[in-house]
Amino acid sequence: RFNFDILQAVNRETLHLTSMVFLILLGAGTFSLVFRELGGDHYLEGLILEANLSPGLFLLLVMIAVFIAGFFIDFIEIIFIIVPVVAPLFAAMGVDLIWLGILLALNLQTSFLTPPFGFSLFYLKGVVPPQVTTAHLYRGIIPFIVIQLLVLALIVLYPEILYWVAFE
């Protein structure tokens, strides 16, 4: 039954969670600002240009980095840390930033599914019967991750699919 003690406990948890999210955003924003103010974006751009990476290879490396980061970092932190660094580089390479944003969003979806911090896995664990173990969930999520990676590969190889679906 609802009472003042329950309201107070919920408010305390909400404040705690919101504070954590804002601290993460503050840290990620500070990292991006310091990185750019110290010339990190220009250094990285020079490094990539010196390495003579094609836009396709650079895209592959970024997508792999985002995918791996999704195992350990929440999608919000990935967006606030990686996107401000790589978006200007892709823009300088002439890559369509809308296409890039959708690729990143699709890739970031996997962070909801991948262990050990997949939010969907925690939600599922809370609603399934007790005999369903976390290991069962980890094994069961593999086909869905593969499907997302296949869709990501299709959109990389055939970007017109994306625009056809979006504008038709």
Domain boundaries, the chain: 4-167
Nearest to 63 by CA among 114, 105, 125, 122: 105
What's this model's pTM, rounded to 2 decimal places? 0.72
Query: What mean pLDDT, rounded, does the chain reach?
Result: 85
Q: What is the pLDDT of residue 126?
A: 76
Instruction: Name the token pair of 111.
Output: 């962070």
Among 3-7, 31-35, 68-72, 80-84, the range with the most confident prediction by mean pLDDT is: 3-7
- C-alpha span between 164 and 142 (Å, rounded): 28
Helix ranges restricted to H, 38-158: 40-50, 55-72, 75-92, 97-109, 119-127, 134-157
| Portion of the chain with pLDDT greater than 90, in percent | 29
Question: What does the pLDDT look like over 109-139, one tens digit per residue?
Answer: 888 888 776 777 777 877 888 898 888 888 8
Read off the pLDDT of each residue in 22-37 and give the average, rounded to a whole number.
80
CA distances from residue 106 to 9, 47, 48, 132, 140 in whole angstroms, order as listed: 36, 27, 24, 28, 20
pLDDT in the model for residue 16: 85
Cα Rg of the chain, angstroms: 20
Q: What's the half-sphere exposure (Cβ side, CA atoms, 13 Å) at 114?
A: 19
Q: Are 58 and 48 in contact (CB under 8 A)?
A: yes
Confidence at residue 35, expressed as pLDDT on a 0 to 100 scale:
81
Task: Find the mean pLDDT for residues 49-63.
Answer: 89
Average pLDDT (12-16) is 87
**According to the model, what pLDDT value does residue 82 have?**
83
Taking 80 as the threshold, does the pLDDT of residue 96 lie above it?
Answer: yes
Residue 17 has pLDDT above 80, yes or no: no
